[in-house]
Structure 1
Amino acid sequence: MTSTFETGHAKNVANFQDLISFVTGYGSTYNPSKNSLKLPQLNALYTASQTSLADVVAKNTTYNNKVNERVLAFKDLKSLSTRLINALQATDASEQKVADAKAFNKKMQGIRSKAVEISNDPNTPAPKTISTSQQSYDQQIQHLAGIISVLQSEPSYTPNETDLQIATLTAKQADLTAKNSAVATAYTNVSNSRIARDTTIYGTDTGLFDVATEVKKYIKSVFGATSPQFAQVKGIEFTKKKK
């Protein structure tokens, strides 16, 4: 479900469009000296705000897709690790070498990362931090690397099963690393997009929120506090972003 906080941004932009509609209706009577309050600049700010909202949605969707891809890639990793231990035990490997591999597998099986919930709503915000889950995936990759290292050191480890062979495992490790990195990159992109959106909508003096407030004040000064024109716009609500 889309959070109230996220939908508030879109509501501010929609209300700004309503404000512009009234301003347009005033014709030449609306003639502020401040450049940022002029109609062309208001329209430009509205367009920029719409663009910033759309960019957050697009980048957030990409982030969610990358998370889904990572979940699928890591899905069978624990079971694969156990199979690798069983395969190693079927070789001439020493007890110590098997114990070393088992130690990595034990760490692999012990990771209990909370599942990432993905919403079908593209507006659903990405988590505020991915440090915990990122670390968990990083660790799983390292545990796999440890098992591969042990297997590579055993000359008798030559399985016929393709998915258990060293070349396949090395390729899988590279793929997991790439997908994990892709999530981190996508998260950075959506985070930066939110910063840009907030600057456009809430930036001091130049943001949509402050500009809308000044437009209302100008309309009040031109038509009067009890005028029907000011009555049209004074009730248009703009919500300040909480810090």
Structure 2
Amino acid sequence: MASTTETGHAKNIANFQTLIEFLTGYGSSYNPSKSNLRLPALIALKDSAELALADVLSHNTIYNGRVSERQVAFSGIKIMSTRFVNAIQVSDASEGSIKEAKFHNRKLQGKRASPPKTPVNPGETATATISASQQSYDQLIQHLSGLKTVLENEPNYQPHEPELLVDTLVSTITDLQNKNLEVARTYANLSNARIARNKLLYGDEIGICETASDVKKYIKAIFGATSPEFAQIKGLEFVKIKN
């Protein structure tokens, strides 16, 4: 279902089409000197706006798909990380490697090694401590990469199970990085599409809203404020939407 905002953009275009239909009905009486108010220019602007709106909807669908794919890909990494830590603990790895592996896993899980200290001063708030929850997608990849580095540099970590091999972890990290990049790429495309749409609908002088306002002024000038022609179009709403 389209969002209220996208419906608002579509309504502006639909009202602009209605405006064009009224102007077409005026025949030769509608003859503005300003080129961007002439019917061919209005029709071209409406067509471009429709294409731009469709482009935004298309990019939004693609972006939402990539976000969902990333969410699924990241959903199992905390369990996966814990399995690797369990595996290194039952290997002949050094205590230092095991400690480092636990550190990166703890970061990935969003946990502290110990509870935060109680503020000494009653007026001191939680903002005085540094957050241990580094849970953005980039940071999760970083924590998993840290675990990978520990495992690949520990000569005594030699599991027999394919799912616990360092190569498996490397492949997972590469997949997560790619999915994260796809979200960023598709969001950039969506953002650029929105900019193009907004210029056509709401740009100064050239946008649909400004153009419709000028058309209304022209109709009011040539037919009069109390004319039936102006009554036809004055109620058509063109609302500027910021996003």
TM-score range, shorter chain: 0.7 to 0.9
- For residues 158-179 of structure 1, what are the alpha-carbon distances to aligned partners after superposition, in whole Å with 9 as ceiling and x for unaligned? 2122121111111111110010
Query: 2: CA distance between counterparts of 1:24 and 1:226?
Result: 20
Equivalent residue number for residue 34 of structure 2:
34
SS of alignment partner, residue 176 of structure 1: helix
Please give the residue correspondences for 1:98-117 in structure 2 after superposition, counting only pairs within 5 Å.
Answer: 98-110=98-110
Equivalent residue number for residue 127 of structure 2:
none
Equivalent residue number for residue 118 of structure 2:
none
Please give the residue correspondences for 1:149-188 in structure 2 after superposition, counting only pairs within 5 Å.
Answer: 149-188=149-188
Query: 1: CA distance between counterparts of 2:10 and 2:154?
Result: 59
Equivalent residue number for residue 45 of structure 1:
45
What amino acid is the match of 2:230?
Answer: F
Percent identical among aligned pairs is: 56
SS of alignment partner, residue 157 of structure 1: coil
SS of alignment partner, residue 239 of structure 2: coil
Equivalent residue number for residue 142 of structure 1:
142
Equivalent pairs counted in the alignment come to 221
Structure 1, unaligned stretches of length 5 or more? Answer: 112-133
Query: 2: CA distance between counterparts of 1:241 and 1:58?
Result: 19
Structure 2, unaligned stretches of length 5 or more? Answer: 112-133
Distance change in 2, residues 1:87/1:136 (3 Å): same
Query: 1: CA distance between counterparts of 2:191 and 2:47?
Result: 21
Deviation at 1:135, TM superposition (A): 7.0
Distance change in 2, residues 1:177/1:10 (3 Å): same
Give the greater-gyration-radius structure (CA).
2
What amino acid is the match of 1:195?
Answer: I
- For residues 93-120 of structure 1, what are the alpha-carbon distances to aligned partners after superposition, in whole Å with 9 as ceiling and x for unaligned? 1122101100000000017xxxxxxxxx
Query: 2: CA distance between counterparts of 1:34 and 1:9?
Result: 25
Query: 2: CA distance between counterparts of 1:157 and 1:203?
Result: 61
Equivalent residue number for residue 119 of structure 1:
none
Deviation at 1:4, TM superposition (A): 3.2
SS of alignment partner, residue 143 of structure 1: helix
Deviation at 1:3, TM superposition (A): 4.2
Q: TM-score, normalised by structure 1?
A: 0.87
Q: TM-score, normalised by structure 2?
A: 0.87
Q: C-alpha root-mean-square deviation of aligned residues, in Å?
A: 1.6
